[in-house]
Amino acid sequence: MPTDHLVITLDGPAGAGKSTVAKSLAGRLGITYLDTGAMYRALTLKALRLKMDLSDEEALTTLCRNTKITFKEMPDGSLSILLDGEDVSTAIRAPEVTNNTFYIAKTPGVRTLMVAWQRAMGQDRSIVTDGRDQGTVVFTDARYKFYVDCDVEERVQRRFKELVAAGKPVNLDQLRADMKDRDQKDFTRAVGPLKKAPDAITVDSTGLTVEGTVDKIMKLIHL
């Protein structure tokens, strides 16, 4: 059912700059930013901490049902993600989490719950939401849908620079292999795979800065 508030979806592959673009876009429009990848990461973190068998989809679905994932606005305007009340904004960016989120993201029961939570968050407020299935599954009636793409080598280089800047040791070849592996898994999973919605506008961020990409999107939005 179409809504009277504004929902903007940004889907696309890992490292295309979606999160930073979505955050900046939401800031410019003065609306809420929803980071759906952070939600899958948070549940992955919990499952890893509990040393769960990540191939046990029933157990992961039960875990998800018994987990509370919320977002909290911080005094500096940034958004923190809370896992059962604990701020895990930094912990969910660890490579171990990144490389295991695939198990959580491919579990149908988990996706059903995540989709419902995401819809609830976009039900009564204007949002910019980023992920893989936001325009195709979660907010099919969104007023604006964008597919943010970027050349794979540039995505690898961007992620490399981010990790180096954060003081995290990283091997470029390993990073490239991991990125391609994540792409493959995101594109081919049976539920909620990454694909461009038929009514989404492709925005290629290759060679563009974050603000350049946001400018490009802003020109396509007419409020």
CB of 130 to ligand C5P, least distance (A): 7
CB of 189 to ligand C5P, least distance (A): 7
> Which residue's CB is nearer to ligand C5P, number 190 or number 223?
190
> Which residue's CB is nearer to ligand C5P, number 122 or number 131?
131
Backbone phi and psi for residue 149, each to the nearest 5 degrees, phi listed first: -110, 165
CB of 171 to ligand C5P, least distance (A): 19
Question: How far is residue 66's CA from residue 200's CA, in Å, rounded to a whole number?
Answer: 34
β-sheet bridge partners, residue 11: 131, 147
Site residues, ligand C5P (CB under 6 A): 14, 36-37, 40-41, 101-102, 105, 131-134, 182, 186, 192
CB of 98 to ligand C5P, least distance (A): 7
> Which residue's CB is nearer to ligand C5P, number 108 or number 207?
108
CB of 147 closer than 8 Å to CB of 205? no
> Which residue's CB is nearer to ligand C5P, number 30 or number 48?
48
> Which residue's CB is nearer to ligand C5P, number 162 or number 215?
162
CB of 222 to ligand C5P, least distance (A): 26
**Dihedral (C-alpha) 133, 77, 155, 129: value to the nearest 10 degrees?**
10
Backbone phi and psi for residue 32, each to the nearest 5 degrees, phi listed first: -80, 145
β-sheet bridge partners, residue 130: 10, 35
Q: Would you say the C-alpha torsion 169, 173, 179, 182 has a positive or negative sign?
A: negative
Question: How far is residue 216's CA from residue 183's CA, in Å, rounded to a whole number?
Answer: 24
> Which residue's CB is nearer to ligand C5P, number 4 or number 71?
71
CB of 5 to ligand C5P, least distance (A): 20
> And the tokens for 184?
């493959």
How many helical (H) and strand (E) elements, i.e. helices and strands, does the chain have? 9, 8
- Strand pairing of 144-149 and 86-87? unpaired
